[in-house]
Amino acid sequence: MVDHPDKYDYSRAKVPGPLTQEMEAKKLEKKRAQKAQRKQREQAQREERQRWEQEQGEKQRFAALSDREKRALAAERRLAAQLQDTSTTLANISRCWQCGESLLGRIPFHYLDFSFCSTACLQTHRRARASHT
């Protein structure tokens, strides 16, 4: 049709139109675009699946933790949030009554209304109080 534009009555033969190189190129381009789109979709599905598997793994890992480990995890998250909050200054974080260690992001040990970084600090403090009285 391109080479012999007047040889046949193309409209009567219902030939849609000449397949020029430009059209071929366009068709190819369209195909390539579709292929790229499909690839993108597949990539997104793969990532979605990966996220889901990670979430499943995380779920199982968390469920297998002891209560203390779960609390530690929650405390860690709180710490991260607190550290991002610039209003938290070093002066107003709570500290171990015995050694002054920051209790930020830890699960403190308590007795009465004292808080400690470790059972060792708690016991030292308790012993010291006991010897006073």
Binding site for Zn ion (CB under 5 A): 96, 98-99, 101, 117, 121
Q: Output the smallest distance, CB 111 to Zn ion, in A.
A: 13
Q: For Zn ion, which is the closer residue by CB, 82 or 118?
A: 118
Q: Output the smallest distance, CB 96 to Zn ion, in A.
A: 3
Q: Output the smallest distance, CB 67 to Zn ion, in A.
A: 22
Q: Output the smallest distance, CB 82 to Zn ion, in A.
A: 19
Return d(Cα 64, Cα 73) in angstroms, integer: 13
Return d(Cα 99, Cα 97) in angstroms, integer: 6
